[in-house]
Amino acid sequence: MDADVAVIGLGAMGSMTIWQLAKRGVSVLGFEQFGIGNDRSASGGESRLFRTAYMEGKQYVPMLQAAKKLWRQLEEETGNSLLTLNGGLMIGDPNTKAIQNILESIDTFQLEHEILQGEKATKKISAIQVVFG
| Whole-prediction pTM | 0.78
Cα separation, 3 vs 59, in Å, equals 35
Cα separation, 127 vs 14, in Å, equals 39
Domain ranges of the chain: 1-47, 49-133
Computed on alpha carbons and rounded to an integer, the radius of gyration of the chain in Å comes to 20
Per-residue model confidence as pLDDT tens for the chain (133 residues): 799 999 999 988 899 999 999 999 999 999 999 988 777 777 777 777 888 998 999 999 999 999 999 999 999 999 999 899 988 888 889 999 999 999 999 999 999 999 988 788 888 888 777 665 5
DSSP 109: H
Cα separation, 5 vs 26, in Å, equals 8
